[in-house]
Amino acid sequence: MKKRYRIGLGFLVIGVGLWLNNTSLFTSPAAKQATILAHRGAAQTFPKDGLKNDTCTAKIIYPPKHLYIENTLESMQFAFSKGANIVEFDIHITTDNKLAIFHDWSLGCRTQSQGTTQDFDMAYLKTLDIGYGYTANSGETYPFRNKYIGKMPEIMEVFNKFPNKKFLINIKSKRLDETKLLANIISTLPQSQQNNLMIYGGQYKQREYLIKHFPNMPIMTKSSFKACVKDYILIGWSAVVPNSCKNNILLIPQNLTPLIWGWPNKFLNRMAGVNSEVFVTANINKKFLTGSQGMPTISAKTLIDAGYKGGIWTDDIDQF
């Protein structure tokens, strides 16, 4: 019995130690308020179930609740006015070595043109109506047609219009030349503006190139995200933050947050200590197995009301 008692006491001590090392009950968050990230600025929303990589989401939008479409200067301005702290946008290289801000590979879904963004120069892309294909009633009406002609931005338009705002840049391709072009453009910006940028997407070689040029910038690929999560699960209980989590971006589905060592405050403080950004996203489920869908507004507000001071990823900033 004494041996069993000692073993039981040992497990109890270990359990209490783990709890004390990872509970947030006695830890204040480093941030003063939650950080709201608006995915593609203010965007039209659509059903998420059953989406594929080639689904034309412009053709399945819900009836519009606002006048903005994604990845435009107007939608970014509106997102910031609604309380967004960060706006995410997507980039594509053009034939004249510009970076167009547009989500899709194909132009045929949202515009009156065909082909891909990288088939054309920026001057041609500026002639397109990027609101052309949006419909909420299977093509009976097109509420944004002729309202967004010439509205596809080039990346410097964003940096010039919003010099003091924060952005998350999504690299859509695996092209290293596109990444080098992005790095060259960012290098021309004042350091204060560079400090407001984060980057995700692409592959390992692209991240390595960017880290070489911007060693203090949060930069994420799928592989860097997975490496951080795996390593943190293994050693995070000890309060040690693995090197793989340094200068990273973590998108954590809300229903998985209870599995994170030190969630919320200790984890957020640990990641802030290694210059990594954390954003809570929508619940993961069998139909949706990635972490980049926005939290429903009601869930986000509930989380904020409960005292959460980390990042929140939203697809409907207009509801805040």
pLDDT by residue (tens digit) across 167-205?
999 999 999 999 999 999 999 999 999 999 999 999 999
Q: How confident is the model at residue 6 (pLDDT cuts 50, 70, 90)?
A: low
Q: How many domains does the chain have?
A: 1
User: Domain with 290 in it: what CATH number?
Assistant: 3.20.20.190
The structure tokens listed for 309 are: 């001071």
Q: What is the mean pLDDT of the chain?
A: 92
Q: Identify whether 166 is part of a domain.
A: yes
Q: What percent of the chain has pLDDT over 70?
A: 91
The pLDDT tens digits for 36-78 are 999 999 999 999 888 887 899 999 999 999 999 999 999 999 9
Residue 253 domain boundaries: 30-319
Whole-Å CA distances, 58 to 41, 136, 190, 287: 15, 8, 36, 20
Q: Identify whether 205 is part of a domain.
A: yes
The pLDDT tens digits for 72-126 are 999 999 999 999 999 999 999 999 999 999 999 999 999 999 999 999 999 999 9
- How much is the pLDDT for 272? 97
Q: What percent of the chain has pLDDT over 90?
A: 84
Give ∠ CA 218-281-101 in degrees, rounded to 5: 60
Q: Identify whether 173 is part of a domain.
A: yes
Which pTM was predicted? 0.94
